[in-house]
Structure 1
């Protein structure tokens, strides 16, 4: 804990305030972007499973699951055994999250947030 605190104090005393403000600003913007992307998916899912949604109506075939297509009114019914939980479901979300975090870090680096002006 003291190592983290000493690094924070050293960073605070040696780093000019504008860089810290830039870092805070970009961190906030990236957090809000991830929040908006996550909430939009949850809102879409909740609206799809509401009882008034055409998506949540049952298929005519027993043991089938209704899947939407690109156009709002079109749906297909698939057999329920096709939609089973697999072991890949445990691996894909963390890998996807790591790729997104790495891409956002490279984006911040590409923008050049931490490049200092070398002009005298």
Structure 2
């Protein structure tokens, strides 16, 4: 047990370095993942509203309103989020490597 503890103490700077970069990558992924969602929510929650509460406003130039029943989950909604998350993690790793940190 003391051998494991002594090797942990010797590698303490390496652990701090690894934890720091894990946090940096997590923050990069969080910002990259949440920024499109924040932009979309702010676009659909603008002061312009649809006259009927059963309609949904689509954020386009003219901001048309559509019936809410047209917006349902599809099978592709199961596939897209994990693929997007994987691409975001890969992009953040490339960003960290490109910056040279």
TM-score, with normalisation over the residues of structure 2? Answer: 0.58
Equivalences, count: 97
* 39-48 or 103-112, larger mean C-alpha shift: 39-48
Identify which of 56, 60, 73 aligns with 1:65: 56
Q: Distance in 2 between matches of 1:9 and 1:93?
A: 41
Bigger RCO of structures 1 and 2 (CA < 8 A, at least 6 apart):
2
Where does residue 45 of structure 1 map in the other structure? 41
Identify which of 92, 104, 107 aligns with 2:95: 107
Bigger radius of gyration, 1 or 2?
1
Structure 2 unaligned blocks of 5 or more: none
Change (3 A) 1:29 1:95: same
Structure 1 unaligned blocks of 5 or more: 1-7, 114-120
Q: Which secondary structure state, in structure 2, belongs to the residue aligned with residue 54 of structure 1?
A: coil
